[in-house]
């Protein structure tokens, strides 16, 4: 759910990346500019309206990151354009698929962004996705990531 517009929702699935501005009654394709519109994981920024994150993967054939690159994509204009975020993420070919519940944001300002993958890795960004670091590896498949600010 969008931080500024509670009726704005984001969705990524087998058929594309979409935005609804009317609480899900109608959907607009916003996948142009992504290396693949297939995927599962999507999260809205907790404070900045029009800002969301997706992790595109290749379609059903192999379900690995698009172009074999570990990248989160961010839109800051409700899906009109997308920016790849990869600073600190693996730069070599990567095969860790991020599933539906494995991408999350926290409520910090700047927002923390987190994802886990089927390679058993967890990555985190403390600066809205601009830079990343690995938090864990050698875990079983990471199917769900939830984040919270603990004061």
Condensed to tens digits (0 to 9), the pLDDT of residues 48-103 reads 999 999 999 998 778 899 999 999 999 999 999 999 999 999 999 999 999 999 99
Q: Is residue 50 part of a domain?
A: yes
Distance between CA 1 and CA 21 in Å, rounded? 10
Condensed to tens digits (0 to 9), the pLDDT of residues 97-119 reads 999 999 999 999 899 999 999 99
Q: Is residue 76 part of a domain?
A: yes
Q: Is residue 4 part of a domain?
A: no
Q: What is the pLDDT of residue 51?
A: 98
Q: Is residue 118 part of a domain?
A: yes
Q: What is the DSSP letter of 94?
A: -
**Looking at residue 59, which CATH number applies to its domain?**
2.130.10.10
Q: What are 52's strand-pairing partners?
A: 44, 75
Q: Is residue 144 part of a domain?
A: no
Reading the block at residue 30, the tokens are 């916003």
With H, G, I as helix, E, B as strand and everything else as coil, classify residue 108.
Answer: coil
Q: Is residue 26 part of a domain?
A: yes
Distance between CA 119 and CA 102 in Å, rounded? 12
Residue 25 has pLDDT above 80, yes or no: yes
Q: Identify whether the C-beta of residue 115 lies closer than 8 Å to the C-beta of residue 85.
A: no
Q: Which domain holds residue 129?
A: 9-136
Q: Chain-wide mean pLDDT for the chain?
A: 95
| Share of residues in the chain with pLDDT > 70 (%) | 100
Q: Is residue 131 part of a domain?
A: yes
Q: What is the pLDDT of residue 148?
A: 83
Q: Identify whether the C-beta of residue 35 lies closer than 8 Å to the C-beta of residue 6.
A: no
Residue 149 has pLDDT above 90, yes or no: no
Q: What is the pLDDT of residue 62?
A: 84
Q: What is the pLDDT of residue 150?
A: 81
Angle at CA of residue 114, ends 89 and 49, nearest 5°: 110
Q: What is the pLDDT of residue 60?
A: 73
Neighbours of 86 (CB within 10 A): 16
Q: Is residue 149 part of a domain?
A: no
Q: What is the pLDDT of residue 106?
A: 96
Number of compact structural domains in the chain? 1
């Amino acid at each position: 759910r969008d931080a500024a517009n509670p009726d704005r929702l984001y969705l990524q699935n087998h058929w594309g990346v979409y935005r609804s501005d009317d609480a899900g009654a109608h959907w607009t394709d916003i996948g142009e500019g992504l290396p693949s519109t297939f995927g599962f994981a999507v999260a809205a920024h907790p404070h900045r309206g029009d800002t969301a994150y997706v992790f595109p993967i290749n379609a059903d054939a192999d379900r690995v990151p698009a172009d074999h690159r570990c990248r989160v994509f961010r839109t800051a204009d409700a899906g009109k354009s997308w920016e790849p975020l990869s600073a600190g993420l693996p730069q070599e070919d990567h095969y860790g698929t991020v599933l539906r519940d494995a991408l999350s944001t926290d409520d910090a300002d700047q927002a923390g962004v987190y994802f886990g993958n089927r390679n058993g890795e967890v990555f985190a960004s403390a600066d809205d996705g601009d830079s990343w670091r690995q938090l864990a590896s050698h875990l079983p498949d990471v199917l769900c990531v939830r984040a919270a600010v603990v004061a």
